[in-house]
Chains A and B, each alone.
Chain A
Amino acid sequence: MAKKFEYEKGKMVPVPSHSIIPERDVDKSPILECSHLGIQFGGLKAVDDLNLTVGRTEIAGLIGPNGAGKTTVFNLLTKVYQPTMGTILLDGQDTSGKTTVQINRMGIARTFQNIRLFGNLSVEDNVKIGLHNQEAYSMFTGILRLPKYWKQERTAHERAMELLSIFDMQDLAGHKAGSLPYGAQRRLEIVRALATNPSLLLLDEPAAGMNPSETAELMENIVKIRDTFQIAILLIEHDMNLVMGICEGICVLNFGQIIAKGTAEEIQANPAVIEAYLGKKKEG
């Protein structure tokens, strides 16, 4: 195993040194800075020496073949796993030692590759749970239904409806989340993540299981979300039309290491990326 890893490592091209931050973000400090980030499970380096910067309003893509460690990167960013190496700076603040809950409060929200909705609850309640930390009444206020309860619940209801309207889902508010069609469940996860008021949104395969027209709609909506909320979005996706269509910066991961960074054109022309996806051309 280790030998194979060395072999792959030898094939790597040097990481482009230039930043992939879009022009409008150049003067602002990046929202996310990972340096030398890594995690080791026993002898396996699932993610190794990952350097990644995401601008304040950038849509960035993280791609790579199956098992490259993309979701592990998300799990490291949200502290589902504690990194064994390196640092993550969110908005200039060090996130080491923070829990998943604290990370969410600091401004990272995510969706999951295998949908994790609150299936028995209504669509509206799913979004309201995302609004949890923006409401601030105590358990006793809730039980006694003091004026503060009614006021905040009304605000939460209005905000939830507003967020659902991004994907035209207001009419589904009363439905059970688990009974929604697959595409709608994926969209609801994005709405729920947005409800936590993030500055960085991590989308794990948002277009999985969607048909081409749904994907096209999703692409528009991702851009719309970035424009309206002025947040950064980092997404993992296998649908290259989506990635090449909307991502301003793309980062390619293989065997836990970054093999290329750059714009869509640069990535498409990069021989290391082509090799990682399609294999090496036979010599001769």
Chain B
Amino acid sequence: MKNYFKGMKAVTKMDYATYAGVILAFVIVSLCQSFGLLNRSVSGMLVPICAYVCMALSLNLTVGVLGELSLGHAGFMSVGAFTGIITSMSLSTTVPNELARVVLALVVGMIFAAITGVIVGVPVLRLRGDYLAIVTLAFGEIIKDIINCLLVGWDENGLHIALNIDGTKSIASLGLSENGIEIIKGAQGASGNDRIATFTVGFVLVLITLVVVLNLVRSRTGRAVMAIRDNRIAAESVGINVTKYKLMAFVTSAALAGAAGALFGLNYSSVSAVQFDFNTSILVLVYVVLGGLGNMWGSIIATVVLYVLPEALRSFSDYRMLAYAIVLILVMLATNNDQLKGLLAKVIPVRKKGDAIDG
């Protein structure tokens, strides 16, 4: 066993350590939960943390591995959340099993976000430069506005969808029958949802996201994507179809964000489009940048710490965001300090000098 680990590459060891860490964290938290050691506010944070970890991991695929800036990742989360809620609500009678419904909702959220990813990616990823950042920024706002005027209901006749563009329509204009369910009510968002997401589902989704991202990075596809990030011209010269691989990475990233969004949406009884605005996109980007571009375990740790931090600082009330900002600045200064890095390298001798960082 020892020899087996000795023969492995440093990156492979790192991958297994990340899996082990995530599983260990889940086991510890689950145990605490079953012994009643977690208070309500902490256990309420578990599913959103899982969702944001998935968000950060998927965004890291776009920003860290592909090297393109995306400023509208919350848009994909939004698409996933609302399609997930629609799926879960409209299937509430046909599929009474909650677990099966959650899984279906996650899959539907993933598919719709992937389709949206293709629509956004196909025209933009052909271009060179920072166009993706600009387009995704606009995309996030467009999705928010579309959902703000979206009316969706469900009855025996199927799904009723209307767009309340001129502000004259209301949920009544869907013409739902008596047993109908109002799912999305325009700017009010979706309310009265079944809260069927659980921490276990969240954990499994984190694990799946992690496996997808890490296995992708260590495969032929991932190498092609990183080659494009490091040197586009050289990548073309060795026969890599740049647009194809950019699109592959971007759509995978969008699909994973969709699943994370569905998980997030199914955790609350009421969800509205403004929750997935520009600030959310930037929040996730902050997790990714502070965790380290292309560094998956860094993303996970950064997400957990930075998600819990504002909640923990709640007692400072008004000074909460100020303290949060100061912590962000300190972390940025610390991660750019060579002396501190050297000190850290002595404490954690994982990445030796000269070792390749891939993924």
Interface centre among A80, A143, A149, A192 (most CB of B within 10 A): A143
> Closest approach, in angstroms, between the C-beta of B15 and any C-beta of chain A?
12
* Binary per-residue interface labels of chain B (208-240) against chain A in the complex, 1 for a CB within 8 Å, 0 otherwise: 000110011011111110110111011111111
Interface 9-mer from A58-66, A84-92, A112-120: A112-120
For B231, give the chain A residue with the smallest CB separation. Answer: A116
Hey, which chain B residues are within 8 Å of A177, CB to CB? Answer: 356
B241 surroundings in chain A (CB, below 8 A): 101
Are A142 and B219 neighbours in the complex by a CB distance under 8 Å?
Answer: yes
CA distance A157 to B10 in the complex (A): 16
Does A129 lie within 8 Å of B240, measured CB to CB? yes
Stretch touching chain B among A23-31, A132-140, A214-222:
A132-140
User: Besides A118-B234, A120-B357, A129-B224, 12 other CB < 8 A contacts?
Assistant: A119-B230, A119-B231, A120-B230, A120-B294, A128-B220, A129-B223, A129-B227, A133-B239, A139-B219, A143-B212, A145-B215, A195-B238
* Contact B355–A121 (Cβ < 8 Å): no
B354 CB contact (under 8 Å) in A145, A152, A179:
A179
Q: B2 near A: Cβ within 8 Å? A: no
| Bound Cα distance A192, B211 (Å) | 29
A196 on interface, CB distance cutoff 8 Å = yes
Minimum distance in angstroms from A159 CB to a CB of chain B: 13
Residue B248 interfacial (CB < 8 Å): yes
Contact between A105 and B239, CB atoms less than 8 A apart: yes
Assess whether B358 is in contact with A120, with CB atoms less than 8 Å apart. Answer: yes
| A116 neighbours in B (Cβ, 8 Å) | 231, 233-234, 237
B232 closest partner in A (C-beta): A116
- Residues of chain A within 8 A (CB-CB) of B223 are 121, 125, 128-129, 132
Please report the C-alpha to C-alpha distance between residue A135 and residue B220 in the assembled complex, in whole angstroms: 8
Task: Name the CB-closest residue of A to B239.
Answer: A104
From DSSP, what is the main secondary structure of chain B's interface residues?
Answer: helix
* Count of A-B residue pairs with CB < 8 Å: 121
Task: List B contacts of A175 (CB < 8 A).
Answer: 354-356
A193 interface hit (Cβ, 8 Å): yes
Query: From residue B42, how far is it (CB to closest CB) to chain A in Å?
Result: 33
Contact in complex: B216, A142 (CB < 8 Å)? yes
Interface contact A129-B235, CB-CB below 8 Å? yes
B residues lining the A interface (CB < 8 Å): 9-10, 211-212, 215-216, 218-224, 226-227, 229-231, 233-242, 248, 252, 294, 353-358
Question: Smallest CB–CB gap between B76 and chain A, Å?
Answer: 18
CA distance A228 to B10 in the complex (A): 34
Cβ–Cβ < 8 Å partners of B353 in chain A: 179
Q: Is the CB of A78 within 8 A of B237?
A: yes
**8 cross-chain CB contacts under 8 A:** A101-B236, A125-B223, A125-B226, A132-B220, A139-B219, A174-B9, A175-B356, A193-B237
Query: Please, how many angstroms separate the alpha-carbon atoms of A132 and B220 in the complex?
Result: 7
Q: For A117, what are the chain B residues with a Cβ–Cβ distance below 8 Å?
A: 230-231, 234
A50 → chain B, closest Cβ, in Å?
21
Q: Does A100 contact B (CB under 8 A)?
A: yes
A146-178 interface code vs B (CB 8 A; 1 in, 0 out): 000100110010000000000000000011110
Q: Which B residue's beta carbon lies closest to that of A136?
A: B220
Do residues B211 and A143 form an inter-chain contact, with CB atoms below 8 A?
A: yes
How far apart are the CA atoms of A132 and B238 in the complex, in Å? Answer: 8
Q: Is A130 in contact with chain B by the CB < 8 A criterion? A: yes
Return the chain B residue nearest A172 by Cβ: B354
Q: Distance (Å) between the CB of A111 and the closest chain B CB? A: 9
- A122 at the B interface (CB under 8 A): yes
Q: How far is the CB of B241 from chain A (nearest CB, A)?
A: 6
Evaluate contact between A125 and B236: CB separation under 8 angstroms: no
Cβ-defined contact, A122 with B356, below 8 A: yes
Are the CB atoms of A139 and B356 closer together than 8 Å?
no
Which chain A residues lie closer than 8 Å to B211 at the CB level? 143
Distance in angstroms between the alpha carbons of A117 and B10 in the assembled complex = 21
- Set of chain A residues within 8 Å of B238, measured between Cβ atoms: 104, 109, 129-130, 132, 192-193, 195-196
Which of A119, A122, A132, A145 is packed against the most chain B CB atoms within 10 Å?
A: A132
Residues of A within 8 A of B233 (CB): 80, 112, 116
Check B234 against A125 for contact (C-beta < 8 Å).
no
Q: Which residues of A contact B218 (CB under 8 A)?
A: 142
Most buried by B among A125, A139, A141: A139
A70 at interface, CB cutoff 8 A: no
Which residues of the partner chain B approach A187 to less than 8 Å between Cβ atoms?
Answer: none
Interfacial chain A residues near B357, Cβ < 8 Å:
120, 176
Contact call A137/B220, Cβ cutoff below 8 A: yes
Chain A residues within an 8 Å CB radius of B219: 137, 139, 141-143, 149, 153
> Does A110 sit within 8 A of B, measured CB to CB?
yes
CA distance A175 to B358 in the complex (A): 11
Is the CB–CB distance between A132 and B239 below 8 Å?
yes
Specify which chain A residues have a CB less than 8 angstroms from the CB of B222 in the assembled complex. Answer: 142
